[in-house]
Structure 1
């Protein structure tokens, strides 16, 4: 199921490493979202960080709050950094193909966005909106009863014009 967008994401994120971390680690909106989510979870909760990058800030904040963190990212160098900095299990995996083992009390998909230079389409995690939709619904099936799904995403309306095939006129 992996797409050209997934490979594009690997090609882009693999060399960035600490530069990527430095760009996002102090984002006040992301940090506030994670803090609120932590307040809704019990210590020891099993959590999944999709697209964890270097583990900062999401996985590190969760681990510091005594959560059992699993992080996945398509970029091997990002995973190596996460393993060296954050307590948890970190795996190189394509989020479109990753099959969770067991259930999670929370799943975090805190997405960065890029523009596909060939098509001009805005991509989440370097994926199309259709791929993100399918991924989120597939991963949500591994949530425990009452589990928390945290999706950090720009509204598509801010980025997709009405003549784009990804436009959703229902805004749903």
Structure 2
């Protein structure tokens, strides 16, 4: 795939669009994410509204959330991914969109951005986190995969190289705190989660003066 894209996001989107079927076939269904998903969902209201950002084809994160009874909204910037998800779970809401410009009318009890948030540049992550905070209801939970330290690297989707970036845990915590969230869990290169670095945060309850 030639590098004629105007920015990293356009290149990443084109790769996921072109690789949608192969990505779906190769994506592990072992639910190595289950321990973090349980922590994420613990305390959320039964049947609560959950937003899966970068949902891909819906396997396995959206599928698990739907099976657990949550009202699932999935968002992805690759239409081919959404077509697969929509065919499997027509009862869920599937939206085309980019988390960098997230602007929905709803607030959610939980937001997940698993293996998607880290495709944003560090400056885009700094700008995106307040957007995510605004879309969370008080007491809501945020679950994202990040890096183990501040920096940039690459991963692979099929045969193609894709961009990854991360802030430091201290900076994530600072930005989240400034936007009314508190980090409740973090594990760098979690050995029980195939080496993913995972961050969990909770939006503080709003108080009245």
TM-score by length of 1: 0.77
In structure 2, relative to structure 1, the CA distance for the partners of 1:16 and 1:32 (3 Å cut) is farther
Instruction: Report the secondary structure of 2:58's partner residue.
Output: coil
In structure 2, relative to structure 1, the CA distance for the partners of 1:154 and 1:170 (3 Å cut) is closer
Provide the rounded CA distance (Å) in 1 between the counterparts of 2:99 and 2:126: 12
In structure 2, relative to structure 1, the CA distance for the partners of 1:167 and 1:65 (3 Å cut) is closer
Aligned equivalent of 1:71: 74
C-alpha displacement at 1:152, in angstroms? 1.6
Aligned equivalent of 2:121: 128
C-alpha displacement at 1:129, in angstroms? 1.7
Q: 1:102-156 CA distances to partner (integer Å, 9 max, x unpaired)?
A: 210001111258xxxxxxxxxx22x212212321221211111111111122223
In structure 2, relative to structure 1, the CA distance for the partners of 1:94 and 1:54 (3 Å cut) is same
Instruction: Report the secondary structure of 1:44's partner residue.
Output: coil
In angstroms, what is the RMSD of aligned CA positions?
Answer: 2.6
Provide the rounded CA distance (Å) in 1 between the counterparts of 2:147 and 2:16: 19
Unmatched tracts of structure 1, length 5 or more: 114-123, 161-165
Conservation of the 8 A alpha-carbon contact between 1:10 and 1:75: yes
Alignment partner of 1:52 is 2:55: yes
Provide the rounded CA distance (Å) in 2 between the counterparts of 1:147 and 1:167: 23
Aligned equivalent of 1:144: 137
Instruction: Report the secondary structure of 1:111's partner residue.
Output: coil
Greater RCO, CA 8 A, separation 6+: 1
Unmatched tracts of structure 2, length 5 or more: 1-5, 154-164, 172-209
Q: How many residues align?
A: 154
TM-score by length of 2: 0.65
Conservation of the 8 A alpha-carbon contact between 2:75 and 2:97: yes
Instruction: Report the secondary structure of 1:80's partner residue.
Output: helix
* Pick aligned residue for 1:32 from 30, 35, 47: 35
Aligned equivalent of 2:194: none
